[in-house]
């Protein structure tokens, strides 16, 4: 049997069609994927969920990055042009704010930062429209400031879905904006390293949570924002960091920011592949997320995420196309789809999945 070329690639370069060349384990020694798996969007989403940095794969023929017609059309629309301008302004402002905080400035105009995010979320259109805009704007690998704005937009929407008061929703939005402040203190060679970090490097990278908390302690803001910086990597089952908190030890804001943080990372558009379909991400959260995030907050958010795509056209794994007409509460990633004159309940067809929102 002819030996195929093995190559270790960073997760940002992993694309559908590649084949795993080794068993893949998480940092807590949990088997994530077996050797010999043909990677698809769902398995790539799972790798990202478990923060797998690099993967040994059999390098197959290069695949051309597919760009769906809906995304291409949306990018040319006036709505997107207007959204991108507001988005770029928000990124520039949060960059200045975070850099000021790292230099010891205790006075930050948080009201202006929140208003910029609220103005984008309050623009006409559905919440799905906001998520689609974010998918379109990701032309490069995320940087800290872009990720901060993305997380803030998602947190603002989540706050609405959780029926928070305006004051609490504003605080949650700031949690999204400032949760990664500590990353500005992490050496770029570690923060931007392709592939898996060594244990020593990973320990340094994890320090961003405590460093962010220490930076925000000096700023006159809601204490929940400071705690979100500290605890957004803590997990419900105790597997997170920096303190291994579990269950009720993790406050609601930290939990919601953790979900937003991970959702944004998993749906990011990369140079080597398009944005991962939201239904793949929802499936990973359904299967693995309930162990890592308090179901009291995770499940209603996943339900609302899935519901935002009702009446959207989707492409299924059998290449048929149809309209999402209903969400199955027990299997959120497997909706009922109308294909021509037939209604297909994906919760009863394990061999067919939603591959893309069009």
Report how far residue 210's alpha carbon sits from residue 221's, in angstroms, rounded to the nearest whole number: 17
| Selected residue with higher pLDDT from 241 and 130 | 241
Answer whether residue 126 shows pLDDT above 80. no
Please write the tens of the pLDDT for every residue from 278-325. 899 999 999 889 889 999 999 999 999 999 999 999 999 999 999 999
| DSSP code for 1 | -
Q: What is the pLDDT of residue 128?
A: 66
Q: What percent of the chain has pLDDT over 90?
A: 53
Q: Say which residues have a Cβ less than 8 Å from residue 349's Cβ, sequence separation at least 6.
A: none
Please write the tens of the pLDDT for every residue from 175-207. 999 999 999 999 988 887 766 788 899 899 999
Classified by CATH at the fold level, domain 6-58 comes out as: Molybdopterin biosynthesis moea protein, domain 2 (3.90.105)
Q: What is the pLDDT of residue 274?
A: 61
| Selected residue with higher pLDDT from 3 and 249 | 249
Closest CA to 303 of 269, 326, 323: 326
| DSSP code for 248 | G
Answer whether residue 67 shows pLDDT above 60. no
pTM confidence score: 0.88
Report how far residue 226's alpha carbon sits from residue 223's, in angstroms, rounded to the nearest whole number: 5
7 three-class SS: strand
Q: What is the CATH number of domain 69-276?
A: 1.10.3210.10
Q: What is the mean pLDDT of residues 248-273?
A: 85
Report how far residue 93's alpha carbon sits from residue 48's, in angstroms, rounded to the nearest whole number: 28
Q: What is the mean pLDDT of residues 118-130?
A: 74
Residues paired with 328 in a beta bridge: 331
**Stretch(es) of the chain classified as CATH 1.10.3210.10:** 69-276
Please write the tens of the pLDDT for every residue from 319-350. 999 999 999 999 999 999 999 999 999 999 98
Which of 65-74, 118-127, 253-262, 308-317 is predicted least confidently?
A: 65-74
Please write the tens of the pLDDT for every residue from 9-44. 877 778 778 888 888 888 778 888 888 888 877 788
Answer whether residue 124 shows pLDDT above 60. no
Report phi then psi at 103, rounded to 5: -90, 5
Most distant CA atoms of the chain, gap in Å: 66
Residues paired with 344 in a beta bridge: 337
How big is the CA angle at 302 (ends 347 and 298), to the nearest 5 degrees?
A: 125
Report how far residue 315's alpha carbon sits from residue 79's, in angstroms, rounded to the nearest whole number: 24
Q: What is the pLDDT of residue 322?
A: 95
Q: What percent of the chain has pLDDT over 70?
A: 89
Please write the tens of the pLDDT for every residue from 217-245. 989 999 999 999 999 999 999 999 999 99
Q: Which DSSP string corresponds to 121-188?
A: HTSSS-HHHHHHHHHHH--S---HHHHHHHHHHHHHHHHHHTT--HHHHHHHHHHHHHTTGGGGGS-H
CB atoms within 10 A of CB 352: 16
Q: Contact 12/270 with Cβ under 8 angstroms?
A: yes
Q: What is the pLDDT of residue 273?
A: 58
């Amino acid at each position: 049997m002819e030996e195929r070329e093995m190559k270790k690639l960073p997760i940002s370069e992993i694309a559908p069609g590649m084949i795993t060349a080794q068993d893949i384990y998480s940092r807590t020694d949990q088997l994530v994927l077996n050797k010999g798996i043909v990677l698809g969007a769902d398995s790539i989403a799972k790798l990202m969920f478990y923060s797998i940095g690099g993967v040994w794969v059999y390098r197959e023929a290069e695949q051309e990055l597919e760009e769906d017609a809906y995304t291409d059309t949306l990018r040319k629309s006036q709505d997107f042009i207007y959204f991108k301008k507001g988005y770029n302004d928000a990124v520039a402002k949060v960059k200045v704010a975070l850099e000021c905080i790292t230099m010891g400035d205790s006075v930050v105009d948080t009201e202006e930062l929140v208003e910029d995010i609220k103005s984008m979320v309050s623009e006409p259109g559905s919440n799905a429209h906001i998520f689609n805009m974010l998918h379109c704007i990701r032309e490069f690998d995320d940087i800290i400031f872009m990720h901060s704005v993305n997380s803030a937009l998602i947190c603002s929407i989540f706050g609405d879905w959780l029926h928070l008061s305006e004051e609490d929703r504003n605080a949650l939005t700031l949690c999204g904006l400032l949760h990664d402040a500590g990353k500005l203190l992490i050496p770029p060679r570690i923060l931007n390293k392709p592939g898996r970090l060594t244990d020593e490097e990973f320990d340094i990278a994890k320090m961003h949570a405590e460093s962010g908390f220490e930076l925000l302690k000096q700023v006159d803001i809601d204490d929940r924002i400071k705690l979100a910086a500290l605890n957004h990597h803590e997990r419900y089952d105790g597997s997170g960091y920096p303190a291994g908190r579990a269950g009720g030890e993790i406050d609601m804001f930290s939990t919601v920011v953790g979900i937003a943080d991970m959702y944004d990372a998993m749906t990011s558009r990369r140079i080597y592949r398009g944005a991962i379909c939201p239904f793949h991400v929802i499936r990973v959260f359904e299967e693995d997320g309930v162990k890592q995030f308090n179901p009291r907050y995770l499940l209603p958010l996943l339900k609302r995420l899935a519901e935002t795509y009702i009446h959207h056209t989707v492409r299924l794994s059998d290449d048929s196309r149809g309209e999402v007409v209903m969400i199955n509460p027990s299997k959120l990633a497997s909706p009922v789809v109308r294909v021509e004159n037939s209604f297909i309940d994906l919760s009863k067809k394990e061999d067919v999945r939603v591959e893309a929102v069009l």
